[in-house]
Chains A and B, each alone.
Chain A
Amino acid sequence: MTPDAAVATAVVVVVLIAALAIRIPVAFALGGAGLVGLVMLRDAEYATSVLGAAPFTTTASFSLTIVPMFILMGMFAVRARIAEHVFAIANRVVRRLPGGLGVATVMACAGFSAVSGSSIGTAATMARLSVGEMRKAGYPASLATALVAVAGTLGVMIPPSTFLVLYAIMASQSVAQMLAAGIVPGLMSAAAYMAYIMLIGSRQVRTPETLEDAVADAATGAARPSLPWRGLVRVVILFAIVIGGMYSGIFTSTESAAIGAVAALAMLVLERRRDGGRAILVHLRGALTDAGSTTAMVFLIIVGSAILSAFFVVARVPDAITDAVTALSLPPMVTMALLLVCLIPLGMVLESLSILVITVPILLPIAEAFGFDAIWLGVLIVKLIEIGMVTPPVGINCFVVAGTTGERPETVFKGVAPLFGVDLVVTTVLFLAPALVLWLPSLVRQ
């Protein structure tokens, strides 16, 4: 990195923090900081070119249609009262289990990840579906939102995942093995989040009195309201359509989101059919406008982050970090660990696909020279980038959950802090025991 680039990077970091501090919307803060850096390193014309191009290139992509479609599916499902019904059932079934609803949310995120190839899509959808229900059951906002933000990151780890496919192509690895490699780490992460909620997180839950009464009633066998089982049936049908259609080859994972949205719309009509056509139209319109504004909010953040990414590439920040770390001449394991940890700050501010494109060509040759497995490296890169997506002060998944639920980002970040620790533990285990990552791929034909 040139001295100019070092100065520019420092300025960009300061500008970003200052912009966030004075309540400039996150998307503008990210993009603005990137533009300042580009003007410093190149010129205003260069920055204008990036600003003119990024809004188009970061949205005009078929694979990104998955984000608005899953958001829309979530909006329909909420208005079809599916979430409400399922959580009512979950609440009854798991009420003896500490943090039962949180566990159910993580399981739902993991299940949803088997459909969605996008962390942001998973987080936005699940935020809409589960945060409100957890709040009703006495979960503090920080815990409820953080769970969704963190468990949303499972979206790219558990296949399908275009992210893992892209890594496999860049690293010349078998795609089948790469996808298989994501399964165990994804499930391990999910299990770790659940363990956290059951053992620690559940202490924050303050069950509302009405619910306590209901539980007491249930215990004495009095006035037990019948459960809305149809919600559960519908969620099973929804998942059967989306997962079944995808794994049987009727549609791709990107397309599954739109199919899911149509199925959820059908559920909405079914649930509200007695309220009349007018009521259905009101819900339809509401769901669409909500989906529209959430989509715009999410993509504007992605555009801002893409502009900042452009600066990081021009300043050669990833190269500089790598050079600095390798210059220390530490043992291979330590060097690799340091390089991977450096992905967290990059994951905080950059759009995750661009970090992959920027860092893989730098990290892979180093890892291969040290004799590390490329598939193992890929899983760790993905895991650390995903951790970066929920790291304060600028984790993109947290902003998405905040934007979707109307909570403040700080609230989400506050809840994320302990889960961040959980993630680091999981990552350390994966780092020290590559067999956990590589066992499943070894069973897949090459």
Chain B
Amino acid sequence: MTDSTLDRVVRPVDRGVRTIAGVLAVLAALAIVVLMLAICADVVVRTATGASLPGMVELAESSLVVAVYLAIAWGLVRGEHVVVTLLTDRLGHRASHVLAIVAGIVVVVLLAWATVATFERAAEATRVGEERFGLVRWPLWPLRWAIVVGFAVTLVVALVQLVDAVRGRLPHREEVQRDA
């Protein structure tokens, strides 16, 4: 396959998956808002009535899971996951290139494994109707799917980055805007 035919496949996938990752990141941010509001609502109602607002603790907990896993793909797109660069900085271009490919393969394998493993777990949790039962009954199985979605989209991002690495392009590491 020539570079241009490969590009015809990879670039739309790249664009598509970045869009999806971006949308998921927005949902993750909303989950953080929900988390904040759920805890505050519980505190306000408890202060007023002495009793908890049923379901708020469960909602907060669920929001945390959603916030974490829907944001990991965007983190990879922006190159925000923490890496140690001590060794690779001192290597020549060629050696760095080879190591980047090896690292990319390892990340892809781990993400694929994580996607399959969490998928199996989600399917099982759905089948048995996993829930928590406190002040209210709260289904847990949908959260398992949020994890699967998070890993699956991250896997595609990692695959695109691997293809780019093989072709000698550096993975997209956009400068993170930090206006302190």
Using CB atoms and an 8 Å cutoff, list the residues of chain A in contact with chain B.
Answer: 19-28, 31-32, 35, 48-49, 51-53, 55-56, 59-62, 64-65, 68-69, 72, 78, 83-84, 128, 132-133, 250-251, 255, 257-259, 261-262, 285-286, 288-293, 295-297, 299-301, 393, 399, 402-403, 406, 408-410
Any A CB within 8 A of the CB of B51: no
Q: How far is the CA of A247 from the CA of B137 in the complex (A)?
A: 31
List 9 tightest A-B contacts by C-beta distance, closest first: A258-B39, A296-B71, A52-B117, A132-B180, A25-B81, A52-B121, A288-B29, A51-B117, A21-B87
| Nearest A residue (CB) for B74 | A293
**CB-based contact A62/B60 at 8 Å:** yes
Q: Does B64 contact A (CB under 8 A)?
A: yes
CB < 8 Å: which of A21, A60, A295, A402 contacts B32?
A295
A410 with B86, Cβ < 8 A, contacts A289-B25, A295-B68 known: yes
| Cα–Cα distance between A292 and B28 once the two chains are bound (Å) | 6
A405 to chain B, nearest CB (A): 8
Roughly how many angstroms separate A314 CA and B57 CA in the complex, as a whole number?
33
Known contacts A61-B61, A301-B82: A32-B72 contact under CB 8 Å: no
Contacting residue for B36 out of A72, A296, A409, CB 8 A: A72
B116 beta carbon closer than 8 Å to chain A: yes
Q: How far is the CA of A35 from the CA of B113 in the complex (A)?
A: 10
Mark interface residues in B23-44 (1 if CB within 8 Å of A CB, else 0): 0011011111101100110110
- In the bound complex, CA of A68 to CA of B82 (Å): 17
Q: Given contacts A291-B29, A292-B71, could you give 14 more A-B pairs where the C-beta distance is less than 8 Å? A: A19-B103, A23-B100, A24-B83, A26-B84, A52-B117, A55-B118, A56-B121, A258-B35, A259-B40, A288-B33, A293-B78, A295-B28, A296-B69, A410-B86
Contacts of B69 in A (CB 8 A): 55, 59, 296
CA distance A123 to B60 in the complex (A): 22
Interface size for B (C-beta < 8 A) is: 62
10 A–B contacts from the bound complex (CB under 8 Å): A32-B110, A48-B117, A49-B117, A51-B118, A55-B147, A59-B68, A62-B57, A65-B63, A132-B178, A288-B33
B87 pairs with A297, CB closer than 8 A = no
Which residue of the partner chain B has the closest CB to A71? B32
Q: Could you tell me if A23 and B83 are in contact, using CB atoms closer than 8 angstroms?
A: yes
Interface of A is mostly: helix
Q: Which residues of A contact B178 (CB under 8 A)?
A: 132, 290, 406
Complex contacts, B80 vs chain A, CB 8 Å:
293, 297, 403
A63 to chain B, nearest CB (A): 9
Q: Which residues of B contact A72 (CB under 8 A)?
A: 32, 36
Contact B43–A250 (Cβ < 8 Å):
yes
The residue on A at minimum CB distance from B105 is A24
Given contacts A23-B85, A289-B25, contact A69 B67 (CB under 8 A): no
Q: Does B143 have its Cβ within 8 Å of any Cβ on chain A? A: yes
User: What 0/1 readout, one digit per residue, does chain B (85-123) give for beta carbons within 8 Å of chain A?
Assistant: 111100000000001101100110010011011101100
A297: which of B30, B62, B82, B143 is its contact (CB, 8 Å)? Answer: B82
Residues of A near B68 (CB, < 8 A) are 59, 295-296, 299-300
Minimum CB–CB distance for A253 against chain B, Å: 12
| CB pair B29 A297 closer than 8 Å | no
| Chain B interface (Cβ < 8 Å from any Cβ of A) | 25-26, 28-33, 35-36, 39-40, 42-43, 47, 57, 60-65, 67-69, 71-72, 74-75, 78, 80-88, 99-100, 102-103, 106-107, 110, 113-114, 116-118, 120-121, 140, 143-144, 147, 151, 176, 178-180
A65-B60, A393-B84, A410-B86 are contacts. A60–B40 as well, Cβ < 8 Å? no
Partner of A258, one of B36, B72, B151: B36
Per the bound structure, the CA–CA distance linking A403 and B178 in Å amounts to: 12
Asked whether B180 lies within 8 Å of A65 as measured between CB atoms, the reply is no
- Are A59 and B87 touching (Cβ within 8 A)? no
Contact present for A25 and B82 (CB under 8 Å): yes
Q: How far is the CA of A197 from the CA of B117 in the complex (A)?
A: 47
Interchain Cβ contacts within 8 Å, total number: 190
CB distance from B41 to the nearest CB of A (A): 10
Contact A59 B25 (CB under 8 A): no
Residues of chain A with a CB closer than 8 A to B110's CB: 28, 31-32, 35
Specify the chain B residue showing the minimal Cβ separation from A245: B43
Chain A residue at minimum C-beta to C-beta distance from B171 = A23
- With A28-B110, A296-B69, A297-B81 already in contact, the answer to whether A23 and B42 are too (CB < 8 A) is no
**Which residue from chain B places its CB closest to the CB of A79 in the assembled complex?**
B179
- C-alpha gap A59/B33 in the complex (Å): 17
Cα separation A289 to B64 with both chains bound (whole Å): 14
Minimum CB–CB distance for A387 against chain B, Å: 20
Q: Point out the residue from A28, A128, A289, A290 that lies within 8 Å of B107, measured CB to CB.
A: A28
Chain B residues whose C-beta falls within 8 Å of the C-beta of A297 in the assembled complex: 75, 80-82
Q: Is the CB of B25 within 8 A of A60?
A: no
With A59-B68, A65-B35, A250-B43 in contact, is A410–B75 under 8 Å at CB? no
Q: Which of B67, B87, B116 contacts A296 (CB 8 A)?
A: B67
| Cα–Cα, bound, A128→B83 (Å) | 19
Instruction: Give the complex CA separation of A285 and B120 in angstroms.
Output: 35
Closest residue to B88 on the A side, CB-wise? Answer: A23
The answer to whether A262 and B67 touch (CB under 8 A), given A23-B103, A24-B83, A293-B74, is no
Beta-carbon nearest neighbor of A26 in chain B:
B82
- Given A59-B65, A289-B29, decide whether A300 and B180 contact each other with a Cβ distance below 8 A: no
A64/B64 in contact, CB under 8 A:
yes
List, in ascending order, chain A residues with CB within 8 A of B64's CB. 59-61, 64-65, 68
Residue of A nearest to B41 (CB): A258
